[in-house]
Amino acid sequence: MADGRREPPPYGRDRVRGSIGSNSPYDGGMGRGGGHPPTRGGYPPQGATYHTQERRPAWRNPSPGPSEGPPIPSTSAAVSTPAFSTNVHEPPPQPAAATAASTSGLALNRQHRPSGRGRRPLADTLRTRGPDAPSKHGTTGQQLLLQSNYFKLLKRVDWTLYHYQVEFVPMCPSPRLTQSLVNEHKKLLGGFVFDGVQLFTACKLSSDELVLHSQHDRTGDKYELHIQRVAVVDMTDETGLQVLNLILRRAMNGLNLQLVGRNLYDAAAKIPIREYHIELWPGYMTSIRQHENDVLVCCEIAHKTMRMQTCYDILRECQRHDRNFKDAFRRAVLGCVVLTGYNNKTYTIHDVTFETTPESTFDTKNGKISFLDYYKNKYNLRIRDAYQPMLLSRAKKKDTRSGDSELMALVPELCQMTGLTDSMRSDFKMMRAMADHTRLNPDRRIERLETFNRRLQTSPESQEVLKVWQMELDRRLVDLPGRLLPQEMIFFSTTSNGVQAGENADWTAHFRDNPMFATVRLNRWYLVVPGRCQREAGDFLNCMITAARGMRFEISNCEMVPMPDDNPGTYIRTLDAIINKDPQMIMCVVSNNKSDRYTAIKKKCCVDRAIPTQVMVQKTITPKSGNVRTLMSVATKVVIQMNCKLGGVPWKVKIPLNGLMTIGFDVCHDSKDKSKSFGAMVATLDHDNRGTPKFFSTVSHHSSGEEISNYLPLNTVKALNEYRREFGELPKRIIFYRDGVSDGQLQYIYDHEVRSLVEKLGQIYKSAGIEQDVLLTFFIVNKRINTRFFDHRLNPRPGTVVDNVVTLPQRTDFYLVSQSVKQGTVSPTAYNVIYDTSGLKIDHLQMLSYKQCHLYYNWSGTTRVPAVCQYAHKLSFLVGQYLHQSPSNMLEKKLYFL
């Protein structure tokens, strides 16, 4: 959450992140990533693809002009070749077009294919739950009957797959060609799945070793297919489930959906928002997985934002409004993802070349051809502007491995823009218009899910695929048990009886009648303000003092320091003069949300010196309709935030464990250099349940941009040393919440982070004379999931826990709905215990996690993840987006990053 920005209503992504507003670069609303969250277990895989041998024009970098930017290095294969060559394969056709192919032949996606020849496994197989482990199903709370966005696979697959290895003589480097050569024998093979090397058939072949002959349909080259049986695949293991996912995606082709990126979207049902020149494509994300007792199909509603403009439209706008239109156009499109309608494929734009136009030619086997003629002959598309520049997109690694060129040339006129720009995201009215269609309430979401199921059950083509593979889906959503945990008591002092958090887990109103739990007297502080904002700043300062008095937070009158302008350099010079006076805190008023000014302030006070700062935007402290009383709500939140930055604590919940240290960890990538990232760790030190908790934070730099931290054991030792300095002994118990981990990284996290952490902790405790094992619980927290729950077609209440039916048998895992939303469908958070020597029951772990969601001091309500995770995200985001280097270690004991 940003300095001093008002907290939004308790709904949507901002509430999830605990942010104050989504329009400011200071408020945490620009959280990690964009688009749709990845699905559980790496699913869903991409659908069946039928490849052709047609090659697209590739780009070879001629000598760029002085204004064209640095050349992009090309592959070694491009050396001594003409400027254009045919080293790029034709992208796969649309899924809808693929329905003409046989329902028995499916192409296994190369990114998700079975492990073999050193390939990675299909999905994460980390099993953290032993056969003799205690029950993972809790009993505390009120029993509920819920529904989820899963459909049961009614007809259990009772057939097996036969696994064969295929070798080609001579060797065939193209995966598209190998698929074509195998497809020639689909009558012999029957139902099959092929990934370029491994073949899975529903029927056992006539011999364990077989040699088949195929011929290239265009060149006439002859190939031998040497097929050797490897094993029999059980349909309940990872490989079998992967095949089921592919079959489901193949059946979905009968719905005339289009593959954009990883997901399927219904272009025919697009929702135009003409006022903002965008349209929304509704779609679906699906996955099949073995859950507690059944194989279940998870289905989630997705939306793809498409802009009603092409790259050529942006070029024309730049030509009309910018004198140096080339640089403006390059800035506008670099890094953007575009959709080419002729093949329904997405590309990321990496560069622009003005030396190449659609009139330029490239080499083919039949001689040179221009881009104009290529698109006319291949797709019957007429390019209107023959002199427009060309866009360059770097091929994906999997394409370059199969012989494709590193760079592909695209025509701006044929590239439709996708996604949103930063200016679009900052347009509140536009985002609100989109939310009306994308934020589906539970009843609308259920209706959409049932419609999807009905279409799948009634489409002849879809039914044909399911029938061939003997699959049948239930028509009803899965019913499952849940529990509602008791409401938490919020304590504002050691002597009070506390107040209930409430049904919506929001205790904002109680601040009118209660003090903060612990405060720090603020005597020496300064208010830096541009001259034209002095009146608003003075009125807001009076509101802050009034609000602080009601919460027993002593604030002395500060010294207001006016400035002649609001340039970043002026702020730096003013701060330099103030810092020499050793202030406790500095508040800065800024005229707008420009990040360069905010970055300058934070770098000066977080890196160069160690002074907590509070940054306020002029708009935030300006009263509505001139009524100063409208600022009291904002002033109350800012006062709470300032107290936390000084070391105070606004409230507590009862945690009946003494000697507890709770740790959160998260990673944020550097916004300037994507090869770098910063891992932030925040620890809460609770020695005595009745005492005031202490805090410790640290940041580590990851040079290769990975989300895996090699510094985690070292940083944990720093927190242990701080605990020992504060309380004279080591903590009795450590609870670790690790965020920012995908399912595919679980094994690596366990092998590297957890094991090294356990080993390091063992050494520390033994050196302190403690021989017993460290009482450590290591959670993986995952909020980017597709699972949703419904309580009688409504959102479940905060505190709802699900630990059965849709959980995984190989894990000690559960889902927790910890927040309340007023719009849309609430998103649960998945908790996975991958290491536990605490001896606590699952009930205790679930309730402890829910308690932690009440302790994020930037929001007087619950957050989607435990507070230490939210703090770690805030800190890593501050460093990755603005500081780009580790803060001063003199701030480690304060929540200066709120």
Structural tokens at position 847: 């309730």
Whether 148 is in a domain gets the answer no
Please check whether residue 645 is in contact with residue 14, taking contact to mean a CB–CB distance below 8 angstroms: no
pLDDT at 811: 92
Q: Please state, in angstroms and rounded to a whole number, the distance separating the CA atoms of residues 464 and 451.
A: 19
Verify whether residue 565 is a known catalytic residue: no
Whether 197 is in a domain gets the answer yes
Tell me the one-letter amino acid at 84.
Answer: F
Please check whether residue 229 is in contact with residue 205, taking contact to mean a CB–CB distance below 8 angstroms: yes
pLDDT at 820: 93
Whether 797 is in a domain gets the answer no
On whether both 638 and 665 belong to a single domain, the answer is no
User: Residue 295's CB: how many other CB atoms inside 10 A?
Assistant: 19
Q: Is the peptide bond before 272 cis (omega within 30 degrees of 0)?
A: no
**Domain final residue pick, 234, 268, 300:** 234
Tell me the one-letter amino acid at 731.
Answer: P
> Quick check: helix, strand or coil at residue 164?
strand
Using alpha carbons, select from 277, 50, 369 the residue that is nearest to residue 181. Answer: 50
Residue 63 class from Cβ within 10 Å (0-12 exposed, 13-18 middle, 19+ buried)? Answer: exposed
Whether 16 is in a domain gets the answer no
> Quick check: helix, strand or coil at residue 68?
coil
On whether both 282 and 315 belong to a single domain, the answer is yes
Strand partners, 683: 663, 696
Residue given tokens 């996690």 in the structure block = 849
On whether both 327 and 400 belong to a single domain, the answer is yes
DSSP H helices in 396-533: 397-401, 422-425, 428-438, 442-458, 460-468
Q: Please state, in angstroms and rounded to a whole number, the distance separating the CA atoms of residues 524 and 584.
A: 5
Pairing of strands 351-353, 390-394: antiparallel
On whether both 211 and 275 belong to a single domain, the answer is no
On whether both 179 and 281 belong to a single domain, the answer is no
Please check whether residue 44 is in contact with residue 262, taking contact to mean a CB–CB distance below 8 angstroms: yes
Q: Please state, in angstroms and rounded to a whole number, the distance separating the CA atoms of residues 654 and 240.
A: 47
Catalytic residue among 3, 399, 670, 739: 739
Q: Please state, in angstroms and rounded to a whole number, the distance separating the CA atoms of residues 898 and 3.
A: 7
CATH code for position 172: 3.30.70
Whether 98 is in a domain gets the answer no
Q: Please state, in angstroms and rounded to a whole number, the distance separating the CA atoms of residues 45 and 587.
A: 50
Q: Is 100 left (phi over 0), alpha (psi -120 to 50) or beta?
A: alpha
What contacts 158, CB < 8 A, 6 or more positions away?
A: 470
User: Residue 485's CB: how many other CB atoms inside 10 A?
Assistant: 23
On whether both 228 and 262 belong to a single domain, the answer is no
Please check whether residue 850 is in contact with residue 799, taking contact to mean a CB–CB distance below 8 angstroms: yes
**Domain final residue pick, 646, 677, 693:** 646
The radius of gyration computed from the CA coordinates of the chain, to the nearest angstrom, equals 30
Q: Please state, in angstroms and rounded to a whole number, the distance separating the CA atoms of residues 158 and 179.
A: 27
Verify whether residue 666 is a known catalytic residue: yes
Sign of CA dihedral 327, 328, 330, 331: positive
On whether both 280 and 383 belong to a single domain, the answer is yes
User: Residue 490's CB: how many other CB atoms inside 10 A?
Assistant: 24
Distances (CA, A) of 25 to 2, 190, 430: 8, 57, 18
Q: Please state, in angstroms and rounded to a whole number, the distance separating the CA atoms of residues 236 and 883.
A: 48
Distances (CA, A) of 202 to 50, 114, 206, 234, 470: 20, 16, 13, 11, 11
On whether both 395 and 533 belong to a single domain, the answer is no
**Angle, alpha carbons 301-262-440 (nearest 5°):** 15
Using alpha carbons, select from 39, 822, 77 the residue that is nearest to residue 435. Answer: 822
Whether 54 is in a domain gets the answer no
**Domain final residue pick, 438, 456, 477:** 438
Structural domain boundaries, residue 181: 160-234
If one counts the domains in the chain, the total is 4
Residue given tokens 């048998």 in the structure block = 809
**Angle, alpha carbons 773-774-777 (nearest 5°):** 125
On whether both 418 and 319 belong to a single domain, the answer is yes
Using alpha carbons, select from 553, 729, 756, 514 the residue that is nearest to residue 646. Answer: 553
Please check whether residue 59 is in contact with residue 88, taking contact to mean a CB–CB distance below 8 angstroms: no
Strand partners, 685: 661, 694
User: Residue 311's CB: how many other CB atoms inside 10 A?
Assistant: 24
CATH code for position 363: 2.170.260.10
Please check whether residue 783 is in contact with residue 829, taking contact to mean a CB–CB distance below 8 angstroms: yes
Q: Is 805 left (phi over 0), alpha (psi -120 to 50) or beta?
A: left
Using alpha carbons, select from 449, 487, 446, 476 the residue that is nearest to residue 800. Answer: 487
Q: Please state, in angstroms and rounded to a whole number, the distance separating the CA atoms of residues 712 and 716.
A: 6
Determine the length of the chain: 898
What residue ranges of the chain have pLDDT lower than 50? 1-2, 4-55, 61-124, 402-403
On whether both 637 and 665 belong to a single domain, the answer is no
Whether 812 is in a domain gets the answer no
Q: Please state, in angstroms and rounded to a whole number, the distance separating the CA atoms of residues 577 and 856.
A: 34
CATH code for position 629: 3.40.50.2300
Catalytic residue among 27, 666, 670, 686: 666
On whether both 692 and 632 belong to a single domain, the answer is no
Strand partners, 780: 738, 832
On whether both 202 and 265 belong to a single domain, the answer is no
CATH code for position 874: 3.30.420.10
Tell me the one-letter amino acid at 52.
Answer: T
Provide DSSP, 226-272: EEEEEEEE-TTSHHHHHHHHHHHHHHHGGGT-EEETTEEE-GGG-EE
pTM of the model: 0.82
Name the DSSP letter for residue 888.
P
Whether 57 is in a domain gets the answer no
